[in-house]
Every structure is written in C-alpha cells, then in structure tokens.
Structure 1
C-alpha cells in the first residue's frame, strides 16, 4: 500500500471520527438553537403585519449586526446581514459570501448544488458539503461586539493536490419595503486584495435610518482575492485560488464587521488582523461559551422546560447591544427585530437583568448601569427638579433637547420602581458587595424622587404622571392639551385650530374649566399618555382608556345612556405638582395601588440593603416606612364588596400622611394592578384570598391563555387591545408569584403549564412574542421580545411546572 493511499484512508477515518464525535457531543452537550433561523430577506424593511423584521437572525456578544441561515437554494451563503443602524434594524443584503468552487479549471459549482446539511447550533451556524473528492465545513460565529467570523475548512479527500478556484458572491437588498419600492444603498465600495468594504453615506432620517458618514460594513479574508462591485444589481463578486495537498485540509477565515464610525473601524481593524491569522476556528469559542451558559440555567426536569429556557436565553442574548453612541454600558433591548425597540428602557432593563442575575451577572449589572448612567442629578441643566429620577428610555442618539437628533430618547416619564428589586436579586446571586455599595445611594435618590415629584396631595401615597417636558409644557410653563369640538366655542379662542376640529390649547386652568363642558367631544393630553407609559401599561382601562363603542355600552348599562355621567367616570384629571413655587411635574388624579405596592416592596429591600451595608439608621427608617405603607395599602386600596384592589381617585386638596380620601375606581374594572399587593407581599392573607379567587375564575382572568391585562368583565376589555386584554408575560409572572407567595404554588404551576401549552409557538421554534391573545393564544406584538423571555426564565426557575408534566416531551 503506497503512502498516498494510506494517508487518504487515514484522513477519511479521521474525518469520519471527527464527524462522529461532533454528532455525539451535540447530542450530549451542545443543543441546537431553539429558534427557527432560516429565511431569505427580500427588502431592507422585511416587515410582518406588526412592523417586525421577519425571521430570527443570530446576534451575539452585543453585536450590531446579525445573520440568518439561508434557505436551501442559497446554501453556502449566509442571509443578511441585519444591521442595527444606530436605532433601526434593516437588512443590508439578501445574502453574502455565497461560495462556488471550480476544480482544476472546470466550471464553477455552487455549494447549494452539493449534498449538504445545515444546522443552527447554540451561538453559531454550521453548513457541511460533501463530494467524493472534497469536504467543506462552513461555520459562522461572533468574536466581538462588532465582528463575526466565517470559518471555512476545505478537506481534500483524494490522493492528489486539489486545485480550486473560489468565488464568493453577495446580493444587497434592492427594495425598501416591497417589490414595488426600489431602494439604492448610498454606499462607497472600498476594495483591496484583502478586504471589500462599503462606507455608508450619512443618513439622519429620524424615524427610519440613522448612520454616520464613516459607518462601514467590511468583509476581510485570510486569502488574497480580487473583487468587483456592481452598483446596478447591486452585488459583489470576489475570486481567488487555493491548492489543498492530498489528504489534508486548509482553513480560510473571513471576518465580517459593522462599525458605526471611523474610531470603531480603526479599533476593530487591529483585531481583524489577529483573527485572520488565527489557526483556531472561531466557532469553537462560541460553542464553549454557550455550553457554559446553558450549564448555568436552572436544572429543568422536563425537555419542554429546558428548550424554552434555552430559547429565552437566546432571545435575551440576541437583544444584547454593546456600548455605542449614548449607550454607555451593555444593555438588553426589548427586541432587535421590532422597529422601535433598539434602545434600553427602565423597567424592561430591570426585568432583563433580574433573569440574567445568575446566568450572566456582569451583563445584568451593566444593564442596570446603562439606565443609571442617565439618572438625573441636581446639576442637570435640563431638569434639575427631577434629581434622582431614572429616565424612561436611552437610545444611541440623544434627544434634540439634549443636543442630539434622535426621536426615541424619552424623558417624559420614568417607569415603575423595580430597580431595587433587581439590584437585590443581583446581589443575592453574586454576593457583589461593591455593586451594592455602588447602587445603594442611587436607589435611595430614585426612591425619594417619587415622594418629591409624584405626591400631589402630600399624603405619602404616590401617583403616576409626567415630567416638565416640551411635549407637555409650553415655554411659559403651561400644560399642553388638545380638545375636539364640532362647534366653534368662544372659550377656545386662545387655542390653535388643527385638523378634524381639534384645537391645540395650553393652560391648566383652561383645561380644568373644559372638563365638564358638554360641547367638548374629546380630550388628548400628552401628560396622560406619559402617565400610562410611566406605569408601563400604556393604555390601561384604569387610566381612562376605553373605545368609543365600549364607552357607549358603559353609558347605556350604567346611566341609561347619560353620556355626561359616564364621561365623568372615565375622565382623568391632571394635577400640577409644585415645590417651592416651581412646577416640578404632573400627577394624574389617582393614587396607584400597583405603584405604592412596588414602593412598599422597595422600602423593604432598601432596609435589607442598608443592613447588609452596616447602615442601621437607614435600615430602621426604611423598615418602619415599609410597615406603615403596607398597612395603608390594605386600608386604602382594597374594595371589600368586589374583593379586589383598585386605584384611588383623589381631588386637588392636600391630605395628611394618614389620610386616603377618595373614590376607588371600581367602575373602570379589574386589572393586573389588583394583584400587585400580593406580588409585593403586602396584602393581608384574608384580602389575598379574595383576590386569588378572582384571579382563578374563568369568568375573570383564568382564560385559555391566563391573565389578560383586563378582566373579561372589565368594561374596556378587548382581547387584542394592547394593555386592555392581551396577555403580557410580566403580568403573568407577577400573578404566579402572587399565588405562590400566598400558598397557591400548585395552582401557579398548573397555570404556567397552561400558558406554555396554549400560547402558540412557545413550545415550537417560533420567536417569543410581546404578548398573546387570551382566547386563542395567537401571537401578537413584537417578535423576539426580551421581557417575555426574561419572565419565562424566571417562571421556570421560581415557579416551575407541575410534576405531572415533567416527563413530557
């Protein structure tokens, strides 16, 4: 037997053994992605009916670009990339790096024409192509916050040298939204023997695309090549040659990067050269890293739970964005595929970080810091009166008020006070005393802000509201609002008439004088929207939101059609909050049971933190405040007739810290705010039992997919309405935690199983959605939604599935 033939046999045996070991290891320790990763984007805005970018591209390590696996006809390439252009995700290409090979000067053959297998592993993609003469393995994984790598290993299975001609092709997207909407990318190609790059022309389109004039997408390879860019197609083609010796293999490395500006490009280029010269395939690091993450997930006893926990983790990591622009720390965004969600929000961040506290503690800490980076201080030039507040949303670009040109940055409101909740969870899991010491004074300042700027009557019970902001307040300090009146009224003389009989007005006194005017058909108050956002439940029934048809039905059933009386029940008043003669913000005229429950829980957690830090004075102070507020929540927000908790409507008069005069908003129906005292563990056992009876009733909240955001009996309930019927998984988590806290854990486990079984796609490879239809389980809202993923991880960990389901597959 000659040496060449012997080497060939040995090489084939090694190849088969390696393949066998890979399969075995995959079955034992390297599970597949639990998300469907294949698609073929046809336009930059490859939107579904909800405005989401279709498909579930792989993003990792905080990258700002991601890829899909191709459909079979495009095997040998990768679909995309999807690039986050500062604040908006767009598909830059239909595919890139489609590889074709010619042997010994013959015709090129696309890899898609060869026998192949394509798999989406955790953290990387794999494509394998096999012929009698050679084998090709192609892997894609991420190596940094800006770069991904394609490892291409070509193995010669013959006893003679394998002379190959290589051709890579890519096709940029040609349409903006549809086939009838042609789009030409404003790019300048930069071509060399080692790289092909596209530098984007500056775009500052606030609501569609934002990028610097030096933003760059680059493809660099470890082999010299020639490239041509066709601006008409638009497409590119690169060619090269390679010889692989008998019974041997060669590794080609391709580094792909997207950088926002020249500084990032210069920094990344140094790393790119190192990766191009590495002899170790990059995907191995991704494989090891992801296996380590999966090992940290709580031990789930059923295959269903394991798969769902992995899918949830994939979703959170996919929405991880590394520092860029105004985002100073790593953060988890709500969804990289949803049009408006490429920033970091306050209570979203608290939930994401809570779920990752044990699995990825450093990312969890950074996510918290990403929001506290912009905590308002007394030195702030724009809103010093809000010292202590954490703003609602942080994006790549500052708002115009902050000197930027972004439209998504938001300081009109904050979000519910769950910051101490997440910090205490992180500290409990990591024992990081330094992080606790770092965050404690910031949490104190945030907590005290609520009592300074959102307690209109001074009684220690807090309201949601809005900040002094250009959207809410004129330069003269008057509140902005709009009214619709089909009759021209003298009282509106100072207002500016707009379309459809809407008048743009300002002034709190004018606003209050119009509330009871029967000739005013509708109000639109920016502060009211901000208050809904501040609660996180944007258009909930308790904030006066109800459809016209539902309102008429309510008037007919409650007041025999008297619209004026019905209007008073659903009308929200806005109060100005003044401190030392200065307007510092606004409150709506209702003290929130949910908000005050969270604040009570925060007092308890601040007391625990202070004690751990050795600050006994603070510990005693916050513990005493906790006990007082806990008692007041039962006394002030519980309705014994209906056995449920509600917000309390107040008037403009001051009250003492022991008072809670007002009217419970029973007529606006039941909502998830009613179980907030149970989640926060401040409800009495007796009251909790009544609330739980309502929660478990199939006539109220126990629907096909349990816990809609309004009870079925709520006058404003709508199964497909954002916060008046759809099922949000954070509210499900709060509900199941509430049940568990008060001795109903088995019920909670059964309801968790019901949620997973009846929410379409949760147990399959569909993306995790923003919310679900309570009666049908239909998927609704944003795809790849982080806080849904976070709460699934939390529920699987803290609640668990019933024992009867642990053997299910």
Structure 2
C-alpha cells in the first residue's frame, strides 16, 4: 500500500501537541470552496452509543483503521466526538462514549467559557465541529493520519488578547474488563483477554494525563497566550495498539493533515464528469462519491492473520469482520477506479490463503482459525484483476496474479465438474448442501430448493445441477485469462484460452438456453432438464457475452417485463410472479442485490440495449430510498418500494453503484443494437 501509514502492522499512540500560528485558519478543504465542500454530509454521521455494541448509526473510519468515531447525536451540543468504536475488540465495541471534550477557562478568573455549537459536518476524510465562546472561535476536526491513529485538530482564535487554560476529557465505556491507567503524559485503556489497547500520550512539553471517574483528562500545564487574530492549534492523536508494538514515532499534525487532504483529493478526482442519463449530473456525482466514502469506511488494514489490507462487507453488521472472496472481487473492481493500491491489496489478501490445489477460501478473519474452507465463491477474481489492469496498466501486477488465477480457474473443473463434461457445478468441501449454496453466493435461492449433493472425490462435492451463472463466469474468465496472457506475451496460453472459451460458449448456448421460455436456466446432471426458476443467473450469459443475439433479445424481454424483473427498483433475485417471491425477508428470493442488478444493466449494454440499460440504471439510483439524500447503501432492497434492508453501509452495493455510474459515464459502450 502506498498510503501514509507508518510501519505496517504497528499501531500508534495517542498524542497532544500545541502550536501557535498568526492569522486565521489557513486553507482548508472544509472551507466553502473546493471538492470537500461539495461533498459535505453525504452521510448522516450523527450518533451517540447507548451500549457497547450499538451499531444503529454511521461511524467514520478511514485509512484502514480498526477504530472509528461519529459526530455526537443531533442536539448534543457539548464538544468532542463519539468514540472510539474499536472494531477489533470482541467483534466491535465502543471503548468510549465521548472523545476530546474541550474545556476552556479564562486563565485569570479560572471561569469556564461555555462553548456554543455553531456548525458540524462530515466531509470526505474528516469530521468537523465549530463553536463560539465569548470572543473565541473554536473548530475541532477529526481525521486519520494513517491506519493506526486518528487526530483531533483543535483551532482556537481570539478576538482580543487573553490567556486561556485548556483541558480535554474523554469518557470511556465499561466494556470487556476495561481498565484505565495514567502515567505522566500517557493514559492507557486496556481490555481483559485482548491484546488491543488505546494509548493516550500528551506531546506538549508541559502537559499531563490523569484518570477521572469516567475516563481521563488531558491538560496543558500553562495557559495559552492568545493575541487578536492569532490561532492556537492543538492536536490530540488517538491510536490503537496490539501486542506487536509498544509505541510509534511521533507524528507532525500539520503534515498529517496535509497528507490526508492530498490523499482524499486523489480519491475525489475523476477523469470525466459522472453522468447517468435521466439523473442530474450533480446527483450522479454525489452518489458515486458516497460510494467511495462507504468503501473506504469499510477499509481495514492488515492485522493479525489478515496479511494485506482489504474491505469488509459492512461495519454495521457484527457478523462481517473479515474479508469475503466474492465481495472482495467486486470491491477491487470498483476500487481500481480511484484507489488502485487498495484494490491490489484486496486481491492479495484473499490469495494469501490460496490452497495448493488452487482453491481460495470463502472468507478470512483476524484469526485464521475462523476462516471458512467449506466453500469458495463465484469466479470473478480474473474480472477484478483485469479491471485493475485496465485502470492502471500495471503489467507487474498481472504477472503476480496470472498463475494464481490460472490455478483457481482450473480448480473449478477439477473439483466441481462431476460428469467431466466441461460445465461446472457449485459445491462444497464437506458435502453439505448449505455450504454448496453459500458457494453460489445466493444462499437460499429458489433454484436450489430441489437440489442434492453428489461426491466428486476427497473433499470435493457438487450440487446435482450445473449452474448457468457459474459457467457464464467461467466462460468470461477464459476470455479474460486470454487477455492477461496477451499482456504477458504468453501467446500459446492466449490461444489455448480462446479455444477453450469457444468450445464452452457453444455448450452453454445449446445446453442451458430454453428457447420456449426465452431464458437461460441451470440444468440437472444426467437428464440436462432445465431448473425452470427465473433468477438473475439467467442474464449472466448476456453479461459474459456468451449468448447469441437472438438469445439475448429473448432474455432482455424477460428482464424488462414488469411481472418478472422490471419492477420499481429493477432486477430482483426472483421473478415477481414466482409464488415464492418474498421481496422483504426473502434474502435471495426476491430482494434486489445491487451486484446482480449491475450485472443486469451491463448485460443489456453489452448487447446494444443502451436506452433500456440507462433506464434500469436510473431506476436503481433514483428509487433506492435515501440514496440521493443522506441515506447509505444497504445489503439488499425491496424491488417494489426501494426500501433498503439487512446491513447498512454495504460495500458491494457501494461498489456496484460506483461501477454502474462509472460505466454509464463511459463513451466506449459495447455491442450492437438488437432492435
């Protein structure tokens, strides 16, 4: 990773530094001009934890940090920020309720100067709160210097000459045997049975840390002497350590803030304006930027048994504290557009655990003993790698990944092709049907209701049906491997992949398309009878480019039919007229999942149905409740109302929205017009 982290795998201390500067606040991204000001408050970041596990509101994470913060709940006017939330502590716990609550006193009379909240904002890469106090203006900005430490930058400007005493308090939460000790300039919060700890170090020369009844206090030993128009800038650095490091070198607060602004300017920069027909350009721009913020909010740095950085599915769900393969491929494809270093890390994180036979596990955790080897996930790793190459031209990364991708691709046909006919099935390593369904990514999809398991060999089992989406993915992967082989000058490999793709294309077209129904279906092993359930798997041959123009035209009619998939929020995971259609609680039996919907839009675009694709894309953006306002992305959506359900701040939904808008903005649309 090329970011501002200091020392991979090490964690920083908490620090406070003070410096005086003449004149105003200086150029800031949070000022009324610039990209950051355009993107203020895309998400509502207000909330105060009512319990240690409270995830009912949005939390600000950045730079891969495992700890995060929020603006206090609306109406709470006292200074500071909610937090920290420590994601690595018992799956995610609030270790504190309030951080950096500021107290100012007139140094002469020692009388407290009440702070009045003036404004507060969540911007790209920072939280900010401003106050007024009897001739003083105060601004607190919380941002991340790197994956280990967050800083609060407090600026105090006086209208007249005065001496001001300053202290800051932080309230801790009694969680997991939390203990607090203060030694000189340092306060340390530890937790029973956990290597994680929060360390607070006051870096000002004359300052001290002390424990209080509910937390700790940081206090400057001497008052600040302020002159008219002069600003005192105080930095508080909070960071998380585990057992790998006792401390870190100090950080320059102003340099860290400048680096933060430079990093985020890079994220916000894009080659051309975002444009989605039927959606105002500023709305498309804000939705795409919100998607970036959500993805980066779920970024977690390499820690424990996670050897590279990656993106978790959602910090809002206590079950999602690791990296999942299918999610990772989608995250990487989207990250390639604006954070390619992180995209590469995301790919490496999963392939760190590739088995000797080529399999990549379903998911990875801080503790590798929890990794799931019962199944893998659909083969989109080559698609993601190619997206990174197209965005970066990084031939070295292609060389790093090619053999790994080749082995993963071949594994499918060795472990998941029961009858050795060149068409694969989803399956599991333990012979359970539930793990086989997980492998599809569509855990409870109706198409698997009548499926059973067949044994292929030691640790290799298949469902008794060849899935059309799996084989469409594998067909496209052969073409993508051919392109990667060409990048590396492997001409023999390139020709081999193209021959294999051509043969597989014919098989899918002939065996898996039901001409009477005008749709692609899974087929049973042996009988080759179609499993006639209308789901998103049926448009994957269009996304992959495997369908004939005539087949694509038939499938597109089904996709756009109001009684099938042309709903208010289009492309549900089960046709609307199916008796088992359950749009709210059905999980994969009716709700819209944005990855499948994005693939549906791209399927139409690939075969020249541009206006139809644009209309479906517009509906996915406009009809998702809250998306164009301050709402976040969700795991899935009700296709009839657009209401979001399951996990908020869901990464692959954010990734899908970004790709949806990015692709619509491209002038290089593919395919021929079928009409």
TM-score, scaled relative to structure 1: 0.76
Aligned: 1:714 with 2:589: no
User: Partner residue of 1:391?
Assistant: 361
| 1:289-308 equivalent positions in 2, closer than 5 A | 289-296=263-270, 298-301=272-275, 302-308=281-287
| 1:330-729 equivalent positions in 2, closer than 5 A | 330-377=309-356, 387-399=357-369, 406=370, 409-468=371-430, 472=431, 527-544=432-449, 570=450, 572-578=451-457, 583-651=458-526, 661-666=527-532, 669-720=533-584, 721-729=586-594
| Corresponding residue pairs, total | 638
Aligned mates of 1:467, 1:66 — CA distance in 2: 37
Q: CA deviation at 1:750?
A: 1.1
Gaps of 5+ in 2: 1-19, 276-280, 668-675
Aligned mates of 1:639, 1:30 — CA distance in 2: 50
With CA pairs under 8 Å and 6+ residues apart, which has the higher RCO, 1 or 2?
Answer: 2
Q: CA deviation at 1:684?
A: 0.7
Q: CA deviation at 1:630?
A: 0.5
Q: Which moved more, 1:721-730 or 1:296-305?
A: 296-305
Aligned mates of 1:147, 1:13 — CA distance in 2: 27
Q: Which moved more, 1:603-612 or 1:113-122?
A: 113-122
* Offset from partner CA, 1:27-51 (integer Å, 9 cap, x none): 78663241111111111111xxxxx
Q: 1:118 aligns with which of 117, 120, 130?
A: 120
TM-score, scaled relative to structure 2: 0.90
Relative to structure 1, the CA distance from residue 255 to residue 588 in structure 2 (aligned partners, 3 Å threshold; closer, same or farther) is same
* Offset from partner CA, 1:117-155 (integer Å, 9 cap, x none): 212221012222234532222111101111011111222
Aligned: 1:89 with 2:71: no
Relative to structure 1, the CA distance from residue 624 to residue 87 in structure 2 (aligned partners, 3 Å threshold; closer, same or farther) is farther
Aligned: 1:43 with 2:43: no
Relative to structure 1, the CA distance from residue 147 to residue 27 in structure 2 (aligned partners, 3 Å threshold; closer, same or farther) is closer
CA RMSD for the aligned pairs? Answer: 2.3
SS of the aligned residue for 2:368 comes to coil
Aligned mates of 2:406, 2:658 — CA distance in 1: 29
Aligned: 1:798 with 2:663: yes
SS of the aligned residue for 1:263 comes to coil
User: Partner residue of 2:260?
Assistant: 286
Q: CA deviation at 1:282?
A: 3.6
Aligned mates of 1:536, 1:110 — CA distance in 2: 57
User: Partner residue of 1:270?
Assistant: 248
The answer on whether the counterparts of 2:130 and 2:137 sit within 8 Å (CA) in structure 1 is yes
Q: CA deviation at 1:435?
A: 0.7
SS of the aligned residue for 1:354 comes to helix
Gaps of 5+ in 1: 1-10, 47-52, 175-183, 203-210, 378-386, 400-405, 473-526, 545-569, 652-660, 803-809
User: Partner residue of 1:327?
Assistant: 306
Aligned: 1:239 with 2:219: yes
Q: CA deviation at 1:156?
A: 2.7
Q: CA deviation at 1:249?
A: 2.6
Relative to structure 1, the CA distance from residue 42 to residue 774 in structure 2 (aligned partners, 3 Å threshold; closer, same or farther) is same
Q: 1:15 aligns with which of 24, 28, 35?
A: 24
Aligned mates of 2:111, 2:565 — CA distance in 1: 62
Aligned mates of 2:198, 2:36 — CA distance in 1: 37
SS of the aligned residue for 1:118 comes to strand
Relative to structure 1, the CA distance from residue 103 to residue 774 in structure 2 (aligned partners, 3 Å threshold; closer, same or farther) is same
Aligned mates of 2:190, 2:22 — CA distance in 1: 46
User: Partner residue of 2:76?
Assistant: 73
Relative to structure 1, the CA distance from residue 801 to residue 754 in structure 2 (aligned partners, 3 Å threshold; closer, same or farther) is farther
The answer on whether the counterparts of 1:772 and 1:778 sit within 8 Å (CA) in structure 2 is yes
SS of the aligned residue for 1:324 comes to coil
Structure in which a larger fraction of residues adopt helix: 1
